[in-house]
């Protein structure tokens, strides 16, 4: 499990700060509010998928550090690439700090481009509690596919699965068809493990983007048994676990492409972010953030994460809030270029059963 040193130090200081507040009237009020409550963690995927694994891992341990030690009920709410869950949290969930959610990596980018009219949430209004992982995203094909590299995908049609319409895993390969001239044919499946199952059955040759840590955690045999080819990784620097896999940024052929691919690469830094609703009292937001920080250095959490092969590279709530705000507020010229690439929807098709 990889933990950045400066985040580790901030978490230690945060935990100490929380302990120091325990005797104050404000801390007592927070404790009184949460005592006996049942909170909800809204999970944007089905049971067993990567987001589900990370969310349940967090709630299992974080309850120890929330003042008043409330219970947390995990609620799976898959659909529309995470939009269903985000809309629920934005529109229907109580705005009192009793709802947490794990947000799709692609949704800040979706809001920045304004592509989806069904997306009602304003992520800049959410109160961000922390980010569990900033793992690079990968595009992969099954080991039997003739497409072994992104260059191969520029030469031949490669049929891949995506986890839900409007998801990061469908938007990115479609945009690459438009920007770089890849020839992905993208079949939309339900979320969760359906794209993986389709790939294993030979219905498709590969799948759209997925975080490397999800692959390592949920389907580690893909890596240990060399079942997949990793075509490209999306992030700002090559992951030490994939030193020979090229970055998407390395394929930029001009300044316009560089701007668009840089936007994609920064978006994946928001890997497994946790938020609560808008309008939550500041002292409760602070308590939740410090509970998250304390969880990140909890020995039992660390051991549990290691057992589940869940790579943790945390970012605190303040940094996550800043990153989300900056991404959504990127220069209009860049957002318009990204939007144009997404609007092409090149190569996206419905699954065979839906026709």
**Residues near 352 by beta carbon (within 8 Å), at least 6 away in sequence:** 187, 203
For 152, 161, 185, the CA distances from 156, given in Å and listed in that order, are 6, 16, 10
pTM of the full predicted structure? 0.79
Checking if the pLDDT of 190 tops 80, the result is no
Instruction: Quickly state the pLDDT bin for 352 (edges 50, 70, 90).
Output: low
Checking if the pLDDT of 69 tops 60, the result is yes
Checking if the pLDDT of 279 tops 90, the result is yes
3-state secondary structure of 90: helix
Q: Looking at residues 275-292, what average pLDDT do you find?
A: 98
Checking if the pLDDT of 354 tops 50, the result is no
Report how far residue 98's alpha carbon sits from residue 42's, in angstroms, rounded to the nearest whole number.
Answer: 11
Instruction: Quickly state the pLDDT bin for 198 (edges 50, 70, 90).
Output: very high
For 99, 263, 342, the CA distances from 86, given in Å and listed in that order, are 11, 22, 20
Report how far residue 87's alpha carbon sits from residue 168's, in angstroms, rounded to the nearest whole number.
Answer: 17
- Residue 341's pLDDT is 87
Using a pLDDT cut of 90, give the percent of the chain over it. Answer: 72
Instruction: State the residue for tokens 């970055």.
Output: 247
Checking if the pLDDT of 177 tops 60, the result is yes
Greater model confidence, 294 or 4: 294
Structure tokens at 169: 């895993």
Checking if the pLDDT of 136 tops 80, the result is yes
Q: Looking at residues 213-232, what average pLDDT do you find?
A: 93
Closest CA to 110 of 353, 294, 343: 343
How are beta strands 127-131 and 315-316 bridged, if at all? antiparallel
Backbone angles phi, psi at 288, to 5 degrees: -65, -40
Report how far residue 161's alpha carbon sits from residue 216's, in angstroms, rounded to the nearest whole number.
Answer: 19
328 and 124 Cβ atoms separated by less than 8 Å: yes
Domains 5-134+268-329 and 137-254+335-354 in one fold:
yes
pLDDT in tens, 286-336: 999 999 999 999 999 999 999 988 889 999 999 999 999 999 999 999 999
Report how far residue 297's alpha carbon sits from residue 23's, in angstroms, rounded to the nearest whole number.
Answer: 23
Domain ranges in the chain are 5-134+268-329, 137-254+335-354
Torsion angle, alpha carbons of 167, 113, 263, 77, to 10: -30
Instruction: Quickly state the pLDDT bin for 226 (edges 50, 70, 90).
Output: very high
3-state secondary structure of 272: coil
Torsion angle, alpha carbons of 240, 242, 245, 250, to 10: -30
Q: Looking at residues 29-56, what average pLDDT do you find?
A: 94
Alpha-carbon 130 to chain mean position:
12
Query: How is the chain split among helix, strand and coil, in percent rounded to 5?
Result: 45, 15, 35
Q: Which CATH superfamily is domain 137-254+335-354 in?
A: Periplasmic binding protein-like II (3.40.190.10)
Q: Which of 13-17, 106-110, 156-160 has the lowest mean pLDDT?
A: 13-17
Radius of gyration of the chain (CA): 20
3-state secondary structure of 257: helix
268 and 235 Cβ atoms separated by less than 8 Å: yes
3-state secondary structure of 199: helix
Checking if the pLDDT of 52 tops 50, the result is yes
Backbone angles phi, psi at 98, to 5 degrees: -100, 0
What are the beta bridge partners of residue 156?
Answer: none
Report how far residue 350's alpha carbon sits from residue 333's, in angstroms, rounded to the nearest whole number.
Answer: 31
For 86, 111, 194, 241, 338, the CA distances from 233, given in Å and listed in that order, are 26, 23, 22, 11, 18
Fold of 5-134+268-329: D-Maltodextrin-Binding Protein; domain 2 (3.40.190)
Average pLDDT score over the chain: 90
- Residue 282's pLDDT is 97
3-state secondary structure of 141: strand
């Amino acid at each position: 499990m990889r933990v950045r040193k400066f985040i580790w130090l901030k978490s230690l200081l945060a935990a100490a700060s929380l302990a120091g507040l325990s005797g104050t009237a404000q801390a007592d009020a927070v404790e009184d509010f949460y005592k006996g409550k049942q909170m909800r963690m809204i999970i944007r995927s089905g049971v067993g998928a990567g987001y589900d694994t990370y969310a349940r891992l967090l709630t299992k341990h974080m309850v120890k550090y929330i003042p008043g030690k409330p219970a947390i009920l995990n609620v799976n709410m898959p659909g529309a690439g995470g939009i269903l869950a985000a809309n629920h949290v934005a529109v229907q969930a109580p705005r009192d700090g009793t709802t947490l959610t794990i947000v799709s990596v692609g949704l800040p980018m979706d809001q920045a481009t304004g592509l989806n009219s069904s997306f009602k949430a304003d992520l800049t209004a959410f109160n961000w509690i922390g980010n569990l992982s900033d793992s690079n995203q990968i595009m992969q094909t099954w080991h039997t596919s003739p497409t072994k590299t992104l260059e191969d995908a520029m030469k031949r049609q490669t049929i891949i699965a995506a986890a839900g319409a409007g998801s990061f895993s469908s938007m990115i390969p479609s945009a690459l068809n438009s920007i770089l001239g890849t020839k992905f044919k993208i079949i939309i499946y339900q979320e969760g493990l359906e794209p993986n199952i389709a790939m294993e059955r030979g219905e498709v040759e590969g799948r759209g983007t997925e975080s490397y840590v999800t692959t390592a955690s949920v389907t580690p045999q893909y890596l240990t048994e060399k079942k997949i080819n990793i075509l490209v990784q999306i992030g700002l620097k090559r992951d030490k676990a994939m030193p020979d896999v090229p970055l998407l940024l390395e394929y930029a052929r001009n300044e316009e492409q560089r701007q668009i691919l840089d936007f994609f690469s920064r978006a994946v830094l928001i890997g497994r972010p946790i938020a609560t609703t808008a309008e939550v009292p500041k002292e409760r937001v602070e308590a939740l953030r410090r509970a998250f920080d304390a969880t990140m250095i909890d020995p039992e959490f660390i051991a549990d994460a290691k057992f589940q092969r869940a790579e943790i590279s945390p970012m605190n709530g303040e940094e996550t809030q800043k990153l989300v705000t900056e991404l959504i507020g990127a220069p209009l010229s860049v957002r318009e270029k990204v939007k144009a690439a997404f609007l092409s929807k090149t190569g996206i098709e419905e699954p065979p059963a839906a026709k």
